[in-house]
Amino acid sequence: MGGAPAYRVLITANIIGFLLEIIGGDHLVALLALWPVGGGFMPWQVVSYAFMHASITHLAFNMFGLWMFGRELELLLGRRLLFKLYFASILSAAATQLLVTLLVGGAYPTVGASGGVFGLLLAYGVLFPQRIIMLLLPPIPLPARMFVVLYAAIELVLGVTGTQAGVAHFAHLGGMVGGYLVIDGWRRRGRWR
């Protein structure tokens, strides 16, 4: 299989999306961000939102996660399966976000690759459970599986309590669910041991 590694293609696409955001301004963001159903939602937004970011910091953290987990996952899964895993995760994150905003309300758009990155993080924890991941703050080494469980628990608490307004915590969890479903499906079909 030829072509650039999937994680590099995705990072490049996200950077291009952010540059287009700067050029296109609010109009482009309004068109491509994920809006709630009945609040500006259009079908293409379930993918396009993942290539928009709220700030350079938002983009940088997501691309760091994509590089950190995507690189190693791609070595194991290959290019095609990494793309499938990533896009299943962003679609699952979008579906979760749309459902949550439908149930509890919300008039704000969602942007960012976090759902895809969280799906990769979950896959990393499943496929490399004993790999050590170093937390940034505080600098504590944790096995990948524990890191994933801890991060998911934090996201759930933050989502339920409404802490960190403006962060789509349930979309992050939706990305993890999508990543898990894809990995579990592959395992059941014997893609690897």
Measured between alpha carbons, how far is residue 67 from residues 105, 114, 123, 158 in Å? Answer: 34, 13, 14, 25
Residue whose C-alpha is closest to residue 94's, from 37, 34, 21: 34
- Do the domain assignments include residue 146? yes
- Do the domain assignments include residue 120? yes
- The pTM of this model reads 0.92
**At 146, which CATH number?**
1.20.1540.10
Distance of CA 164 to the CA centre of its chain: 18
The predicted structure's pLDDT at residue 1: 46
Range of the domain at 141: 6-188
The predicted structure's pLDDT at residue 180: 95
40: left (phi over 0), alpha (psi -120 to 50) or beta: left
How many separate domains does the chain show? 1
**Per-10-residue mean pLDDT, the chain, length 193:** 87 96 91 93 96 95 96 95 97 96 86 97 96 84 94 91 83 96 89 57
Can you tell me the distance from the alpha carbon of 108 to that of 149, in angstroms, rounded to the nearest whole number?
Answer: 28
- Report the relative pairing of strands 141-143 and 132-134 from DSSP bridges: antiparallel
Cα atoms in the 13 Å half-sphere on the side-chain side of 179: 29
128-135 long-range contacts (CB < 8 A, ≥24 apart) are 128/72
The predicted structure's pLDDT at residue 139: 87
- Do the domain assignments include residue 97? yes
- Do the domain assignments include residue 1? no
- Do the domain assignments include residue 65? yes
- Do the domain assignments include residue 182? yes
The predicted structure's pLDDT at residue 137: 74
- Do the domain assignments include residue 114? yes
- Do the domain assignments include residue 193? no
The predicted structure's pLDDT at residue 108: 87
